[in-house]
Amino acid sequence: MKEKMSNTLASTLKNETGIAIRSLGPAPARPIIRGLGGNRISMAEDGILSFDLSSTSADHSVTINPSYADKIETIRGPKVLNYSTSAVGGVINVREEFVPLSLPQNLHLEALQFYETSNNSYNGSFHTEFPIDSMAIKSNFTYKKGSDLQTPIGKIKHSEFENNDFNFGANYIKNNFSIGSSYRGFYTKYGIPGGFLGGHPNGATIEIQKNAFQVKSILHEHMPLLDVIELNFQRSYFNQKEFESNNSIAAEFVVRDYITSIDFKQRTILFDDNNYLIGNYGIQSNFRNTKLGGFVFSPENQLTSFSGYFFEELSLTNFLFQFGGRATYSNFSITEKQLYSELKNRNFFDYGISFTTSYELINNLILGFNTSYSTRPPTAEDLYSKGPHIAAYTFEVGNTDLNSEKVFSIEPFISFEYHNFSIFSTIFFNNFSNFIIPRNTGDTNYSILLPIYKTEGVPAWLYGYEINMKYKVITPLTADLTISYVRGLIKNSANNLPMIPPLKGNLRLLYKYENWHFSLSTEFADKQMQVDKFEEPTSGYIIFNSSMMYEFAFGRTYHQISLNAENIFNKIYRNHLSRIKSILPESGLNFKLLYQLYL
């Protein structure tokens, strides 16, 4: 994953199957999975939900740093319900081990240096891990800074960014018990471009400060039906300020978030070498207080929620079964009721169930399907927003009468491997009875010249397919192809769902020779003409990329150097999910240089 690393989590994952990028400039980019965004995609770090405001608006940045990632996994199917009933699109879990889970044998160091030409950005990270008796100690530090993004027709003015964050973690590990904690500080400041219809003439600036304190304790019981008990507690403080060009505060968000969970992991029951039963279950609570200031006319509110969940996996001969469930009670309350008498407190009971089965018909030919039903409560922003959101260039109106979103999903899939060839293909179909979306009404608040977006629930279809093929042409040369397509429709109307990505794909040739890796790839997307009212269509495109990587050992150290070239022919192309596509395209020719040192 490190060779694909970029400055944001979204750009790191952009060529993964089914993933697109929502953006309002490069800094606040966020992944979209199968056309679903917002909190339909949960973001987690080390299995614990990560809190920021990136799910609520396109101008809000993700506060997860991909520089720390040991592994980034996209979770779908029944295991999603370990995290949330809301994550119908999936969960992106970034594994970083802020609290180190094992005791290192000796000192471990990792240094990372990254440079990108399209925005003249620099990223420097330093990680260290070492033991002190039975204590594992880990620290991380990252600093990155970039200037305005260069496109083939000019710079995206006011798209600069600066970010620094650090983490310190320690874990006491003794026999079958461990207890540890970590503290993370995060700061970023970035620009939001302007100069287009609905945009601030001179752009806006966002400043985010976040700190998170985590406690993790693990007890290995090794009982017949209970193997591990894991306790997690995380407290996050989040402060976001949005500044207009005259440096006055347009909006401020202060959020305190507390998550507590207890997870019980079952001991694996082996029937024989190939058949087994394994699973986990647990409970989780969440308390969140949100205060708003500046030019924001929405109330201070609190969220209190309690959840219970389970997951089971059973392997029997050629069959694999997975089953998961989750139930959540949520209460949204307004703490300034006397100022917002027209709004009301809301209670929601939501649940999700999901089942997956697969069958190996013949050697390496697997047929299967996943089906699920889940409900998602509206967010506080969906319920209570009322007023201008300057950095997002919208006047947002919530709906306090919204009901939970409901979706039934089915997904058949096939996987096949034969000698040097493999293919995985799936078709997915989501039937929403109440799809919650903020839609452009076509009206404008002329006092501040912002388009009015109103949140509503509509019945909708969301369906599509994904294909991932790989073929080893000769021993050192491999070709792989990914294609993904999604279609969004509002039922009983001729309208499309807004901000749905077009068909997109990537074809790559990878050549490996000893310590060298070379690749040539083409990234392509179809035009998107199936748009909502007042939404702009976009043209299709095809761009070419290449990369080269060399890795070697020297003494006790290991080194990796990679050079990537993106959009080699400096093509003008536009991302349909970009809010600024009407004025400027995506970046032009871009070189990425990455150096990593391990000790």
pLDDT tens-digit readout, 211-232: 999 999 999 988 878 999 999 9
Strand-pair partners of 432: 407, 460
- The band of 56, judged by pLDDT with boundaries at 50, 70 and 90, is confident
Give mean pLDDT, residues 318-332: 95
Measure the CA–CA gap between 46 and 129, rounded to whole angstroms. Answer: 17
E-strand spans in 381-476? Answer: 386-389, 394-397, 405-418, 421-445, 450-474
Burial zone of 546 (CB within 10 Å; 0-12 exposed, 13-18 middle, 19+ buried): middle
Give mean pLDDT, residues 199-206: 76
Measure the CA–CA gap between 467 and 17, rounded to whole angstroms. Answer: 8
Measure the CA–CA gap between 462 and 486, rounded to whole angstroms. Answer: 7
Q: What pTM does this model have?
A: 0.91
pLDDT at 197 over 60: no
Tens-place pLDDT, residues 151-161: 999 898 889 99
Nearest to 583 by CA among 60, 155, 28: 155
Per the CB < 8 A criterion, the answer to whether 285 and 260 are in contact is: yes
Query: β-pairing, 177-192 with 228-243?
Result: unpaired
Considering just the CA atoms, what is the radius of gyration of the chain in Å? 24
Tens-place pLDDT, residues 106-138: 999 999 999 999 999 999 999 999 999 999 999
Which of 207-221, 512-526, 576-590 has the least mean pLDDT? 576-590
CA-to-CA separations, 583 to 146, 567, 573, in angstroms, rounded: 21, 19, 12
Amino acid sitting at position 368: G
- The band of 2, judged by pLDDT with boundaries at 50, 70 and 90, is low
Strand-pair partners of 171: 136, 180
- The band of 196, judged by pLDDT with boundaries at 50, 70 and 90, is low
Tens-place pLDDT, residues 391-442: 566 777 788 888 999 999 999 999 999 989 999 999 999 999 999 888 777 7
